[in-house]
Amino acid sequence: MTDANPAAPPSPDAAAAPAAPAVPPSPTDRPGLARGTRVLLTLAAAAIVFAGIWFARDILAPVAVAAIVVIITHPVGRVLERRGWPRWLATTAVIVVAYLILGALAAMLVFASAQFVAMLPEYADDLEQTAESIAAFLQSIGLGEEAGQAASSALDPATLVDVATAIANAVLGFATAFFFVLAYVIFMAADASRFARDGLAFGTQSGDAISAKYFTGVRRYYVVNATFGLVVAVLDGLLLLALGVPIPLVWAILAFVTNFIPNIGFVIGVIPPAVLALVVGGWPLALIVILAYSVINVVLQVLVQPKFVSDAVNLSLTLTFFSVVFWALVIGPIGAILCIPLTLLVRALLLEPGAGNVTLRRLSGESMPAPPADSRAAPSD
C-alpha cells in the first residue's frame, strides 16, 4: 500500500539554490550568566587576587622592582647586539646597567636617611620651640587645645625620632630585599634576551602590539620622570642651599624620588624642607620655600612634563590618583612609585585585548579614535 501523498521530488531550481547562512544567536539568546552577575564575580575574583598580592607583597614587590628596571635597561642590549656584540655579552651589559641604577638609588636612600637621623639631635630644641609656638597660635585663633596638641606632637622631637627610626627600618628592609632584586634582575635579563630572540616580548620583533605598547610606555614614563626629577632636584637643592635650609642635598634627593609619585609627590617632597625652614627662619622663610617649590614643580611637572608622558601613559587623573593609594596599600610604599606601570599592566591584560572594552578603556584615560559618523547616527527608515 502506497502513501496517498508521496513527497514531491525536489525541483532542480531548489537543489541548485545555495543554503541560507546560519544566523548566529543574538547575545540575549545565548545562555549564560546575567551581566550584573558576571561583574560581581569579576570583582570578587579581583578582590581575592589583590588580597593574595597583599599577603605576598614582601616577595612580589622586589619582583616588580626588578621587572621595571629590566624593562628600562633592555634596549641597551638591543643596541649592543645591533653593533655586533654577542648576545651573552649584551645581556651582561644590561645586568650591569641595571645594577648601576639600583646601586645609585640605594646609595641615595641610605645617605638621605643617615643625614636625616644625624640632623635631629642638633635641631631638637628648635623643633620643640616651634611646636609650642604653633600650638599657642592655633589656640589663640580658637581652634582648641586638641588642634594645638596635634600640631605640637607632629613636631615633637620624640615623634620625629620615631619617624627616623621607621625610615631607617624601611631602608634596612629595602637592603634585605635588595639581594632578591639583584638576583631577579639576572634571571629576568636572561629571559628577556631569549624572548626578544623569539619575538615574544619586550616589543622587539614581535607583532604583539599590546606588549610592545606596554613596554615602550613604561620606558618612556620612567626615563622622562627621571629626567624631570633630576632637573627638579637640582633646582630645589640650589634653592634650599641659597636660603640656608639645613641638609639641602637630602631634600633634593627627596624631591627626585617623590617626582615618581604622581599627583601627591610634590606635597610629600615640600613638607620636610618647609618645616625645617620654619624652624630655622620662621614663617617668612617657610613661605618662601613653599612658594618657590610650587613655582618650580608646577612649571615642570604640571605644564611641561605631561606633554612628554601623556602618549605613553594615557591614564585619567582620577585613575592616576587612585592607583597611587591602591598600590601603596597593596604592596607597600614602593607601590606609590610603581603605581603607573602596574596600572598600565592591569589595563593591558584585562581591557586592551577585547574589542568590547572600549568604554572602560576610554574611562581609564586611553585616547581612542572616535567612531565614524555613520555608526553613531541611528539608521533611518
DSSP tag of 83: T
Is 90 exceeded by the pLDDT of residue 173? no
Reference 160, options 117, 220, 111, 218; nearest CA is 117
The predicted model gives 191-214 an average pLDDT of 60
Among 108-122, 189-203, 272-286, 292-306, the minimum mean pLDDT is found in: 189-203
pLDDT in tens, 71-83: 888 888 888 888 8
Give the whole-angstrom CA distance, residue 50 versus residue 56.
10
Is 80 exceeded by the pLDDT of residue 338? yes
Burial classification of residue 222, based on how many CB atoms lie within 10 Å of its CB (0-12 exposed, 13-18 middle, 19 or more buried): buried
Reference 282, options 137, 149, 154; nearest CA is 137
pLDDT in tens, 248-302: 999 999 899 888 888 788 888 888 898 888 888 888 898 999 999 888 887 887 7
Cα separation values, 334 from 7, 269, 327, Å: 79, 16, 8
| Residue 6 confidence (pLDDT) | 52
The predicted model gives 217-221 an average pLDDT of 86
Burial classification of residue 202, based on how many CB atoms lie within 10 Å of its CB (0-12 exposed, 13-18 middle, 19 or more buried): buried
Predicted TM-score (pTM) of this structure: 0.73
Among 10-24, 96-110, 304-318, the minimum mean pLDDT is found in: 10-24
Averaged confidence pLDDT in the chain: 75
Cα separation values, 5 from 11, 13, 211, 281, Å: 17, 22, 67, 112
Cβ distance 274 to 246 under 8 Å?
no
- The single residue listed with the C-alpha cell 596635634 is 150
Domain ranges of the chain: 214-276+284-353
Percentage of the chain modeled with pLDDT above 90: 8
Give the whole-angstrom CA distance, residue 184 versus residue 193.
14
| Residue 379 confidence (pLDDT) | 46
